[in-house]
Amino acid sequence: MKKIAGIIIAIATLVLCFTLSACGNKYSSNYSSSKMVEKNTSDTASVSFDKFSGTYVIKFNTSNEKASITYNATLKEGNIKVYYDFNDEKLDLFEIGTDGSVEGKTETFTCNKTIYIIIESDGKCREGSFSFTLEKSE
């Protein structure tokens, strides 16, 4: 009887572990950097770095709101693509290359859950600065 109870507890524990791990973020950051400074509040986010390689993810939480994303970025060396995802659709936001700078704003969209901003380098990058503002409208 103790063996059966032990087996049931072990199976329940494994099922619980797999269930909880599946509830994680849709995207995850995986990067190496030096001198990286990050800031993320409910409606603004920024990241700057001396050296960067990989993927960095920013999250904004919303609930049935109309919003747009204002952004600006500079990069001394390398190539980076930036995407945003809302309502389960990953869309191109902008690309930036060596000695580049970019600024802009998305169209207003209606979102009903988390908005992800995904910053992906295609190799080593140097001296970058990225900032994003979620502007909510009525």
pTM of the predicted structure, to 2 decimals = 0.77
Contact in structure between 102 and 44 (CB atoms under 8 Å):
no
Cα(133)–Cα(105) distance, rounded to whole angstroms?
9
The pLDDT assigned to 108 comes to 83
Q: In the chain, which stretches have pLDDT less than 70? A: 1-2, 4-25, 64, 112, 138
| Burial group, residue 82, by CB count within 10 angstroms (0-12, 13-18, 19+) | buried
pLDDT value, residue 21: 41
Q: For residue 20, what pLDDT is reported?
A: 42
CATH of domain 27-137: 2.60.120.260
Q: What is the pLDDT of residue 5?
A: 55
